[in-house]
Amino acid sequence: MDSTWKIALQIDPLPALLAEGDPALIYFVQRDQLDWETAPVQALWVLPEAVQLLKRQQANGAWRYPGKGFDPCNGTNYDLLETFRILRLLVDMYGFDRRHPAIEQAAGYLFSCQTAEGDLRGILGNQYMPYYHGAILTLLIKAGYAEDTRVHRGLEWLLAMRQADGGWIVPAQALPAKKKTPQFWSGPSLPPDRTRQSSHLATDMALRPFAVHSAYRSHPDVLAAARLLKSRILQADKYNDRKGPEYWLKFQYPFWWHSLVATLDSLSRLGFERNDEHVARGLGWFLENQSPDGLWETGYGAGKEARRMRLWVGLAVCRVLKQFSV
C-alpha cells in the first residue's frame, strides 16, 4: 500500500471516509487509496440508490428534468441537463460504464444532441456551451467511449474553439445581460470573440475530457490550456459567472463547476508535477486547511446531502494528493 501521499497531511482523512458506511465510497477508498483488491465494480450497480436512478431513465435514454423538458420559447433542452446530472452520479459514484445497457442508452441520447459542427448543444438553447460539452465528454470517455468517432469529433471541436490565449470562453458570457433574450438563446449561435481573455470556469470544464483521454493528454494545445489554467488558480475570473476567487473553494463531487480540486485533478492527469509553483500553491491550500476530522469544508452549507458530498469531496482530494504523490 502506497501511503506516502498522507505524510504531509496533519490528519489522516481515511478513517472519516470509512466510518460513514457508504458502500460505494468505501469501495473507492479501498480501491484507490488503500490499493486493496476489490470486487468487480459491477457490485456497485445494484446498490439501492443506483437502482432508483436507473428507474427514472426514459425510453430515449435521457432522464426527465423535474417539471420541464424542452422549452420552445428559448430552445433549452432541460432533459440534457438532467441527463448530465444523473450520469455524473452513475459514472463517478457507482462506476457505471458502457457494459451496462443504461449507459449505452444514455450515450445514444447524448450523441443525438451532437451537431454537425461536432459540439453537444441544448442546455444553452442553440448557443455554444464548451464547458458543458467538455464535462459531458468527460463522462462519456470515463464510461468507455474514448475511441468513439463522435467523441473524437467533440474533442476536435473543442480544440478548434480555443481563444487566442489558449483557453476557452462560453461566447454568451461576453454578451450584456439585457441582450440575453429568449430569442437570443434560440437564435443563431454566437461565435466566440477570440481576442477576449479566456474564462477559467470554461477552461477548467473544457480541459477535463482531454485529461482523461490517453491519446490527447500530451497534445500541445491541451498542455498550453492547462498552463494557462494553473496560472489562474485562486484568482478571480474574467466574467461574471462564478467570478470571485472564493468559487475556487466551493467543492462538489462529482465535479460540476470549476474548483481547486477539479483543476488539480486535471493537472495531475496531464503530467504536471507537485513542485510546479501553481500546483504547489493549490496543494498547499489543502494541506493547510483540514478540518478536525481530516476532511475539507465544501462551502455548500449543511444538511444530509451536503454532508455526503463533503465525504466524496474528501475522496476527490485524497485522489489528487495521491496522484501528485504529495
**pLDDT, tens only, 192-224:** 999 999 999 999 999 999 999 999 999 999 999
315 located within any domain: no
What's the whole-number average pLDDT of the chain?
94
Task: Give the range among 250-264, 294-308, 311-325 with minimum mean pLDDT.
Answer: 294-308
Q: What is the 3-state secondary structure (H, E, C) of 38-64?
A: CCCHHHHHHCHHHHHHHHCECCCCCEC
Q: What is the pLDDT of residue 302?
A: 73
CA separation for the pair 245, 81 (Å, rounded): 26
123 located within any domain: yes
Q: What is the pLDDT of residue 72?
A: 65
For 100-136, the DSSP string reads SHHHHHHHHHHHHTB-TTS-B--TTTTS--HHHHHHH
CATH code, 177: 1.50.10.20
Q: Which pLDDT band holds residue 272 (cuts at 50, 70, 90)?
A: very high
Q: What percent of the chain has pLDDT over 70?
A: 98
Is 80 exceeded by the pLDDT of residue 124?
A: yes
150 located within any domain: yes
Domain with 228, as residue range(s), is 43-242
Q: What is the pLDDT of residue 4?
A: 74
310 located within any domain: no
Q: Which pLDDT band holds residue 70 (cuts at 50, 70, 90)?
A: low
Taking residues 31-54, what's their average pLDDT? Answer: 96
Count of domains in the chain? 1
Is 90 exceeded by the pLDDT of residue 129?
A: yes
Stretch (H or E) spanning 15: helix 14-18
249 located within any domain: no
Task: Give the range among 26-30, 180-184, 268-272 with minimum mean pLDDT.
Answer: 180-184
Taking residues 124-153, what's their average pLDDT? Answer: 97
CA separation for the pair 57, 226 (Å, rounded): 35
258 located within any domain: no
319 located within any domain: no
* Cα separation values, 93 from 83, 85, 241, 315, Å: 15, 12, 27, 11
Q: What is the pLDDT of residue 224?
A: 98
190 located within any domain: yes
Q: What is the pLDDT of residue 68?
A: 77
Is 70 exceeded by the pLDDT of residue 101?
A: yes
Is 60 exceeded by the pLDDT of residue 1?
A: no
